[in-house]
Structure formats: C-alpha cells, structure tokens
Amino acid sequence: MSYSTTVGVDLAKNVIQVSVISSRGKELFNRSLTRKKFAEFLGKQEPSLVAVAEAARRPNIKDAPMKTVEQQGLQALQRARELLIQECVALSNHLRGILLELGITIPQGFASLLRALPKDISSGLTYTGLRP
C-alpha cells in the first residue's frame, strides 16, 4: 500500500514529537504533542505510514519482530539483573581500590572481598548470588 504521507514519531515519557512528511520528503508538520493529543491527531489523520521518519525513508532497514508481553518482561528482568551485576562489580572494585591505598591487597571477585573484610563489616553485606 502506498501512503501520501509519513508520520515520524519520537517517543518520550510525557510528550511525543510528531513530524508529518509528504511523499516528496517535504516536512508538513512538526510539533510536540501530549499522549492524548497524539491519539486525537492520529484519529484525524488520513491513512499514513507511522514510523521513525528516517527509517521509513530508507527501504534497506529491516523491521524488528514484535515482542510478546512475556518476552518484554523477561528482557526487563535480564536488564535489571545486568544492572545489579554491574553495580556489584563497581562497588567491589571501589572498595578494593580503597583498601589497596591502605596497603591491603585483595584478589578480584566479590567472594574474595567478603572473605577479606572483617566479620562486623561483611555481615552487613549479603552475597546475592549474581555472578558477572
């Protein structure tokens, strides 16, 4: 199906930047809309290709497959886990660096750090089982 216009969107948390581009590549409209106003705008719009405008202009860009709600949930959990691992590694490296300045060397790894710390300090830290 051939469309006479392309509606380019840039999603943000509270607003959506909307750009309407003619089939010849001329920008007809460019505004920032709230989510409610964007829905109203699309309802009034003639059938158009709604896409990231740059991607819509380039036929070589492949579409990404749609994810199910379950897939999105698993991806969110995996990213949260990766963030926790990064923070755990960063904190242990930071503590290891501070101790190295005091002349105390500790091998890499969170478990090595916990073994090397005095019991009253390491009891406040719990090993989460997350491994990089």
Q: What is the mean pLDDT of the chain?
A: 82
pLDDT at 132: 46
Q: Which pTM was predicted?
A: 0.48
Predicted confidence band at 127 (pLDDT cuts at 50, 70, 90)?
low
Phi and psi angles of residue 64, each rounded to the nearest 5 degrees, phi first:
-85, 140
- How far apart CA 26 and CA 5 sit, in angstroms, is 9
pLDDT at 123: 58
* Burial of residue 113, with CB atoms counted within 10 A of its CB: 0-12 exposed, 13-18 middle, 19 or more buried: buried
pLDDT digits (tens, 9 = 90+) for 16-44: 888 888 888 888 889 999 989 988 988 89
- How far apart CA 50 and CA 87 sit, in angstroms, is 38
Residues present in the chain in total: 132
Question: H helices within 10-118, ranges in order?
Answer: 35-44, 53-57, 69-101, 110-116
